[in-house]
Chain A
Amino acid sequence: MASGPKDETIRMNSSTRGPSLLRFAAPQNFYPLAGRLAPWFAAIAVVLTLAGLWLAFFVAPTDATQGNVYRVIFIHVPAAWMSMFIYLVMAFWSAVGLVMNTRLSFVMSQALAPTGAMFCFVALWTGALWGRPTWGAYWVWDARLTSQLLLLFLYFGFIALTRAIEDPRRADRAGAIIALVGAVNVPVIYFSVKWWNTLHQGASVSLTKAPSMAATMFAGMLVLAFASWAYTLAVTLWRVRPMILERERHTEWVGAVLDREGGRT
């Protein structure tokens, strides 16, 4: 099952013979690899989530000014980071797809989008529930919140467009353009708290200075951020597999995979 297909027409059309890592750019090599990796990332995500929740609720102290409501931060910040990061990764794969004409790159960015949208929604939802007791409002139209809401709509637009267009090649290209143009919004979100006078607080964590919070709070946030990375990898790899089958349904290797699957279900 790991050995490559013998059929010449398939071999000619994909870079099966490329060196080392590059061979996983070929769908028939990437498909089984994704299937093998996903459970490991899922297991890592579970372990890190449990560790992170323990830090968040049983190690991190009650905040002197905010009390316990601040504990929303442990999902709010990782979700917000993830929502921005996933969009940038989608833009990256879209650019690779447009430049190198690799179909798997487009499929990858489409497999990432629902998870990015999910994290974006979580960031907005937890932000609203945190905003109410601390600001007195679930929602305000400040630059941070508005640009994050725009990110959610960009995700929805990307998903709707790529699914609405029948021809996969055109869908890929149209989606790639939304992903690339919309990526401009990500630095706007990130720097919005600096550029404008927002109700939303500034960054508590940055690469250039020490985090302005207790070490245990920071640790919990970081562990849950890594958990969401592992989760994203697992769920994206699981989502991309049927997408690959769909796209490559005319090939022999997909036929072989389907015969195996058909016997099981």
Chain B
Amino acid sequence: MQWESWSAFWDMGGAGFYVWGSYGVTFAVIGLELVLVLQRRKETVKRLLRWRRAVGKDGSGRAGARMES
């Protein structure tokens, strides 16, 4: 064990700002990325459902029109 106490742990030998600033921001941007990915998924599904209703839901007719080549 490296630490005498929890306060020594958080202090990081005086380097707390640099160490926790690094870890804190890293996990914050990872969290942000996960939220954005989840939002994008929900938003895409919603938008495509709306699009399908507008185009004619069953997907027949023009479906596959862009699949050429």
Using a CB–CB cutoff of 8 Å, the interface residues on chain A facing chain B are 7, 9-10, 13, 57-58, 60-62, 67-69, 71-72, 75-76, 79, 114-115, 118, 121-122, 125-126, 129-130, 132-133, 231, 235, 238-239, 241-243, 245-246, 249-252, 254-255, 258, 261-262, 265
- In the bound complex, do residue B26 and residue A238 qualify as a contact, i.e. CB atoms below 8 Å apart? no
- In the bound complex, do residue A258 and residue B30 qualify as a contact, i.e. CB atoms below 8 Å apart? no
How far in angstroms is the closest Cβ of chain B from A264?
9
Q: Can you report 23 residue pairs joining A to B where beta carbons are below 8 Å apart?
A: A13-B64, A13-B67, A60-B2, A61-B2, A67-B13, A67-B15, A69-B13, A75-B23, A114-B33, A118-B29, A118-B33, A121-B29, A126-B26, A129-B21, A132-B18, A133-B15, A239-B40, A242-B44, A249-B51, A250-B67, A251-B63, A252-B63, A265-B46
For B57, give the chain A residue with the smallest CB separation. Answer: A255
For A71, give the chain B residue with the smallest CB separation. Answer: B19
Contact partner of A69 (CB less than 8 A), chosen from B3, B12, B52, is B12
CB 8 Å contact bits of B29-67 with A (1 = contact, 0 = none): 110011011101110111011011000001100111111
Kindly state whether residue B7 has any CB partner on chain A within 8 Å: no
Query: What is the CA–CA distance of A132 and B59 in the complex, to the nearest angstrom?
Result: 59
- In the bound complex, do residue B44 and residue A68 qualify as a contact, i.e. CB atoms below 8 Å apart? no
Interface residues on B, range: 35 or more
Kindly state whether residue B5 has any CB partner on chain A within 8 Å: no
For B40, give the chain A residue with the smallest CB separation. Answer: A242
- In the bound complex, do residue A239 and residue B37 qualify as a contact, i.e. CB atoms below 8 Å apart? yes
- In the bound complex, do residue B22 and residue A62 qualify as a contact, i.e. CB atoms below 8 Å apart? no
Query: What is the CA–CA distance of A72 and B22 in the complex, to the nearest angstrom?
Result: 7
What A residues does B49 contact at CB under 8 A?
258, 261-262
- In the bound complex, do residue B37 and residue A62 qualify as a contact, i.e. CB atoms below 8 Å apart? no
Query: What is the CA–CA distance of A261 and B44 in the complex, to the nearest angstrom?
Result: 11
- In the bound complex, do residue B41 and residue A10 qualify as a contact, i.e. CB atoms below 8 Å apart? no
